[in-house]
Amino acid sequence: MSDSGTHQLKKTLGFTVALTTIIGMVVGSGIFFKPYAIFNATGGAPGLGMLAWVIAGLLSMAGALTAAEIAGMIPKTGGMVTYIHDIYGPKLGFMTGWVDSALYQTGSTAAIAVVFGIQGASLLGFPADNYWPKVLLAIGTTGFLAVMNNFGARTSGIIQNIATVGKLIPLITIIAVSFFKGTGNDVLTPLLGPDLNPGKAFSLALLAALFAFDGWMGVGMIAGEMKNPGKDLPKALILGITAVSLIYIVMNVAYLWVIPADQLMLTETPAADVSKVLFGPRGGQFVSIGILISVFGGLNGYVFTAARSTFTLAQTNRIPFSKTLQKVNKNGVPSNATWFVFIVSSLYCLTGKYDLLTDLSTFMVWNFYILTFYGVIKLRKSHPDAERPYKVPLYPIIPLIAILGGAAVVISTIITQFTYAMAGIGIMLLGLPVYAYYEKKEKKAELNK
């Protein structure tokens, strides 16, 4: 696993960059919108919802600490798709790329677009149950960002920098003011609403919280560019995800301090509603605009990365229109792949369901996270002497926690959301005949030569 690619990367990054990267990648739209789904799942009871945030943070930390070892050994473009390809072979690598491109990245793009549409439509005064304003706004904004991304990575970076400031405004403002102006509500009891199945309720709440923590898998990609990954990466991961967990917990306490859980479960825009209570209609609108800018930045990031995921998959020449999707415009952007992301995510946007899309994408990606976690154990056995810039601490305890926790997420989702889970698995299985067709075609071409 220690090939020449490891030495081609400049080792210039230190602890501070790793820490800020982790926090910047993880904190996104989930903290502003997921309380609705979480407290809805618990029947308007805060206790189990708060527990879901804590467990999601611990699972994410175990997963990030584990995956970082793979990232240090295989510091190549492609992230998890490359890891699974190198560890398990081309078929599973293709399936990972297929799901990443056809469902996870595009589904997550659609989910964030929908939540942008929900927040934007609310600011414009449309009723919450009005379908078309939020959907048209979601699709239109994704299309606008597809155009902007075609101008080059620098344009995308400028949008991202502006959005980072937008992200901080609502977070700091709500936390700072809520404890002074909030009336105070119980944040731990009751644990669960009446007549609800605790297992199903916790499963739904945990899946929602895990989406809010998503983003840590990309962090491990910087391992090959760190000056001292063995020391700095685990420290940055532990501190970074701990910081995000504390932000999320404090933010939820702030919400509950102002509006009780049985009311938060009724609104798709909980952060905006809390802002209106704290600052009045005009002040609430100001904070809501900050939330909208943050979500806009998150959407821009997903359009950017999803296009590159599709572009990478197209380079295998094993999907329809591979040659077209590989084309790069004069700005160095995979333009056709970007428009592919826009088209597919727009179709997903038509559901108008933020939580459906996030649950589906989170469920599917955790299947491949588990393969990545097990890859650490597999490589420890098959390549014991390979160069490892970073080793997961407390091996094999932390990898086993990540694997078992991930398995629990996947199994509980199949049990509690069977139809959605089967839909995701169905999209994944569609990749098998596609792979088989192009593999057969490739072998036939080789024989003809």
Residue range 110-141, pLDDT digits in tens: 999 999 999 999 989 898 788 999 999 999 99
Using omega within 30 degrees of 0 as the cis cutoff, is the peptide bond preceding 320 cis?
Answer: no
| Closest to 169 (Cα-Cα) out of 30, 257, 283, 25 | 283
| Closest to 413 (Cα-Cα) out of 370, 372, 378 | 370
pLDDT band at 6 (very low <50, low <70, confident <90, very high): very low
Span 295-330, pLDDT tens digits: 898 898 888 888 888 888 898 888 999 999 998 888
Question: Is 80 exceeded by the pLDDT of residue 240?
Answer: yes
In sequence order, what DSSP letters do the residues of 214-277 get, joined into one string? Answer: TTGGGGGGGGGGBSSHHHHHHHHHHHHHHHHHHHHHHHHHHHHHHS-HHHHTT-S-HHHHHHHH
What tokens appear for 337 in the block? 């792949």
d(CA 39, CA 47): 9
Question: Is 80 exceeded by the pLDDT of residue 430?
Answer: yes
d(CA 311, CA 308): 5
Domains of the chain, start order: 4-440 (1.20.1740.10)
pLDDT at site 370? 97
Q: What is the pTM of this model?
A: 0.87
Residue 136 CB partners (closer than 8 Å, separation 6+): 117
pLDDT band at 220 (very low <50, low <70, confident <90, very high): low
